[in-house]
Amino acid sequence: MTHSSSVVDGNQFAVHLSDVWKMFPGVVANAGVELCVRRGTIHALLGENGAGKSTLMNVLAGVYRPDRGQLKLHGQVHSFRNPADALSAGVGMVHQEFRLIPSFSVAENVVLGSAPPLIRPQELEAEVAAMAKKFGLRVDPTQPLWQLSMGEQQRVEILKVLWRDASVLILDEPTTVLTPSEVDELAEILRRMAQDGRSIIFISHKLHEVSGICSEATVLRQGKTVATSLDMAATDAAELARLMVGSSPVAPDRPEVATPGDPLLELTELRASGDRGIDAFSNITFQVNSGEIVGIAGVAGNGQRELADVIAGLRPSTQGSVTLNGADVTAARPQQRFRAGLAYIPEDRLGVGLAPRLSITDNAILRIYRQQRRGLFIVAEKALAYCKYLITRFGVRSGDPGGPIAALSGGNLQRLLVGRELDGQPSVVVAAQPTRGLDVQGVKAIQDLLLDQRKAGAAVLLISEDLDELLTLTDRLLVMEGGVIRGEFDPRTVSRHEVGMAMLADTNATTR
């Protein structure tokens, strides 16, 4: 473990975690972790997916109780029994999934948990507005929360923590829901808070985002601290990357240039409404050819999810057409599209792709039970055989196939899901966030499967928030923002900056 400062004085630090252990059944999430955060700084907590960052911060925020270890805030030892304890000690966390109440107003959401005994709504709204202004957070306290975008909701979450006068603020992967300009806004907000004497811990697995914002970093790998109190200015990206993944980052294998064939998936002037009645996306026209991977980049909430659902037939379109292998499937139901050669890997594994309370076998036969049945009945032996086949072919680590699906880990769930979808030799694959939240092996496994499909001549549409993944795997890259395609790029030559500009909806950006 490397330190940049040789003296570790507990009192200098706003936060000092030492020898923290946290275990869950079957996995050690944190193994003797060290973390030191200086007062008034923005501190990066880096590590790959699954390194233990969120777990550690949940310990700090009182959500989890550590199995062993010490937690010191401003030199004082604390033991939090629940989030309320942590909050009163001055630690607040903004989670990836917001803890907000849609039917309440912004002001009500902000003060929940720390309101005065008697509430005068208008006074409260004025106070919330004042605090928001002080830190540069653009929100309207009177607005009902369900009307706000993800970026706006995040500001409410931050305001909540500030309202409690938190001296330590933890942000868990905050930039995944923000556009590049919103990221800049966030950086400014955080700087103001740091100047105000507050300490900020910024969890991320993306180096380039934190380098502009954070002054110090701690790196976790596989549950352990590999470095803490690193001076970001003095450490170069390659070194940080090495610490994160454990060896020199090998440039990932780019697939050889493809000679794409016929268009297997064609979208023409496609348009659909979102859950609130307004357009989720419109004017979508592009095609995916046989033997290529087309990527769609863009921050979540810009219509990608709805687009994937429309292509799969789970959501109706209001205009335009979807053509699969030359046949118009715009009005076809999901099962018909599946039979026509479409495979869909949804974002929500346990919840859309898989039925949470059923067994592994039940989930395995989801696509083929209709073919397998004899008369009215499902044949148990055939179902089990197929399940075992999927497990073997796609390397799913599971116990008893008759056991509950919820017992599988994230990576294995995804392997089963992806395997089930790809087993039928689809001609078109739509994959939404297929590697999100997986560990290194899991990510590779899924990416390899997608590349295999490409090799076999399928048309693959890859929707991902991970720009690195898209730049590596895809043959063509589209950017979607505000429900429209803002540009098409060659992933081998384009710069991140160009892509970022497209995500800004700058009409001067490169268009097709």
Partner 1 sequence: MNEASLIGLFVATVSFAALLYLAALGELLSEKAGVLNLGVEGMMAIGAVTAFIAGVELGNPWAALAIAMMSGAALASVHGFFTVALGAEQVVSGLSLTILGLGLAAYLGKDYVGQPPRAELVPVEWAGLSDIPWVGPIFFSQSPIVYIAILMGVAVSVVLTNTRIGLALRASGESASSTDSAGHSVLGLRLSAVAAGGALAGASGAYLTLSLTPQWAEGLTAGRGWIAVALVIFGAWKPGRVGWGAILFGGTLALKTRLQTFGVDFSPIILSMLPYVLTLLILLVISVRSRKRPSPAPAGLGFPYRREER
Partner 2 sequence: MMRRPRLDLRDQPLAGGQPLAFGIGLAVALFVGTLLLLSAGHEPLKIYTRMFEASLGDPDAWAVTLNRAVPLGLAGLAVAVAGSMGLWNIGAEGQIMTGAIAASWVARIGGEWPGLILIIAMLIAALGGGGLLALGPAVAKAKLGVNEIITTLMLNEVAIRLAQWLIHGRWKDPDAYNFPLAPMLPEQAHLPTLFSRAHCGILIAAGVIVISSVAVKYTAWGYELRIAGSSEATARYSGISLPQKILTVLVLSGGIAGLAGGVELTGTADRFTESLSNGFGFAGIIVAALALMRPSGVAVVAVLFGAVQIGGQSIQTLGVSSSVSTILQAFVLFGAIGAGVLSRYRILFEGDTHAVPEEVNK
Q: Which residues bind partner 1 (CB under 8 A)?
A: 24, 64-65, 82-84, 87-88, 95, 99-104, 108, 111-121, 146, 160, 276-277
| Shortest distance (Å) from residue 218 CB to partner 1 | 23
Q: How far apart are CA 240 and CA 220, in angstroms?
A: 11
Decide if residue 352 touches partner 2 (CB under 8 A).
yes
Q: How far apart are CA 221 and CA 52, in angstroms?
A: 8
Looking at the Cβ atoms of 149 and 425, the one nearer to partner 1 is 149
| Shortest distance (Å) from residue 340 CB to partner 2 | 12
Q: Which of 71, 24, 52, 2 has the alpha carbon at shortest distance from 220?
A: 52
Contact code string over 315-334 relative to partner 2, x by CB under 8 A: ------------------xx
Cβ–Cβ contacts within 10 Å for residue 259, how many?
9
Could you say which of partner 2, partner 1, none residue 312 binds, taking C-beta under 5 to 8 angstroms by partner kind? partner 2
Looking at the Cβ atoms of 116 and 351, the one nearer to partner 2 is 351
The edge-to-edge listing of strands for the beta sheet with 42-46 is 2-3, 224-231, 216-221, 42-46, 199-204, 168-172, 91-94
The answer to whether 60 touches 53, Cβ cutoff 8 Å, is no
Looking at the Cβ atoms of 83 and 437, the one nearer to partner 1 is 83
Amino acid making up residue 137: L
Cα Rg of the chain (Å, integer): 24
Looking at the Cβ atoms of 395 and 403, the one nearer to partner 2 is 403
Q: Which of 307, 322, 295, 330 has the alpha carbon at shortest distance from 467?
A: 295
CA dihedral 107, 108, 112, 117 (to 10 degrees): 100
Looking at the Cβ atoms of 12 and 70, the one nearer to partner 2 is 70
Q: How far apart are CA 320 and CA 180, in angstroms?
A: 30
Residues 191-230 interacting with partner 2 (rule: CB under 8 A): 222-224
Looking at the Cβ atoms of 175 and 361, the one nearer to partner 2 is 361
| Shortest distance (Å) from residue 112 CB to partner 1 | 4
| Shortest distance (Å) from residue 170 CB to partner 1 | 13
Looking at the Cβ atoms of 20 and 230, the one nearer to partner 1 is 20
Q: How far apart are CA 283 and CA 509, in angstroms?
A: 18
Q: Can you tell me which residue has the tokens 């020898």?
A: 19
Decide if residue 67 touches partner 2 (CB under 8 A).
yes
Amino acid making up residue 211: S
Residues 278-297 interacting with partner 2 (rule: CB under 8 A): none
Could you say which of partner 1, partner 2, none residue 276 binds, taking C-beta under 5 to 8 angstroms by partner kind? partner 1
387 φ/ψ sector (left φ>0, alpha ψ -120 to 50, else beta): alpha
Could you say which of partner 2, partner 1, none residue 333 binds, taking C-beta under 5 to 8 angstroms by partner kind? partner 2
Decide if residue 25 touches partner 2 (CB under 8 A).
yes
Decide if residue 385 touches partner 2 (CB under 8 A).
no
Could you say which of partner 2, partner 1, none residue 346 binds, taking C-beta under 5 to 8 angstroms by partner kind? partner 2
Decide if residue 138 touches partner 2 (CB under 8 A).
no
> DSSP per residue over 16-72, as a string?
EEEEEEEEETTEEEEEEEEEEEETT-EEEEE--TTSSHHHHHHHHTTSS--SEEEEE
Q: How far apart are CA 315 and CA 344, in angstroms?
A: 13
Cβ–Cβ contacts within 10 Å for residue 321, how many?
15
| Shortest distance (Å) from residue 287 CB to partner 1 | 34
Q: How far apart are CA 89 and CA 76, in angstroms?
A: 10
Bridge partners (DSSP) of residue 224 are 221
The answer to whether 74 touches 39, Cβ cutoff 8 Å, is yes
Decide if residue 81 touches partner 2 (CB under 8 A).
yes
| Shortest distance (Å) from residue 370 CB to partner 2 | 7
| Shortest distance (Å) from residue 441 CB to partner 2 | 14
Residues 332-351 interacting with partner 2 (rule: CB under 8 A): 333-336, 338, 344, 346, 348, 351
Decide if residue 353 touches partner 2 (CB under 8 A).
yes
Decide if residue 23 touches partner 2 (CB under 8 A).
yes
Q: How far apart are CA 174 and CA 14, in angstroms?
A: 21
Could you say which of partner 2, partner 1, none residue 331 binds, taking C-beta under 5 to 8 angstroms by partner kind? none
Q: How far is CA 283 from the centre of its chain?
A: 26
Q: Which of 150, 314, 494, 504 binds partner 2 (CB under 8 A)?
A: 314
The answer to whether 464 touches 494, Cβ cutoff 8 Å, is no
| Shortest distance (Å) from residue 228 CB to partner 2 | 18
Q: How far apart are CA 261 and CA 91, in angstroms?
A: 56
Amino acid making up residue 83: P
The answer to whether 119 touches 101, Cβ cutoff 8 Å, is no
The answer to whether 362 touches 354, Cβ cutoff 8 Å, is no
| Shortest distance (Å) from residue 305 CB to partner 1 | 19
Could you say which of partner 2, partner 1, none residue 135 binds, taking C-beta under 5 to 8 angstroms by partner kind? none
Q: Which of 376, 381, 507, 508 binds partner 2 (CB under 8 A)?
A: 376
| Shortest distance (Å) from residue 108 CB to partner 1 | 6
Decide if residue 400 touches partner 2 (CB under 8 A).
no
Looking at the Cβ atoms of 1 and 358, the one nearer to partner 2 is 358
Residues that bind partner 2 (CB under 8 A): 21, 23-25, 28, 31-32, 65-68, 81, 222-224, 312, 314, 333-336, 338, 344, 346, 348, 351-358, 362, 366-367, 369-370, 373, 376-378, 380
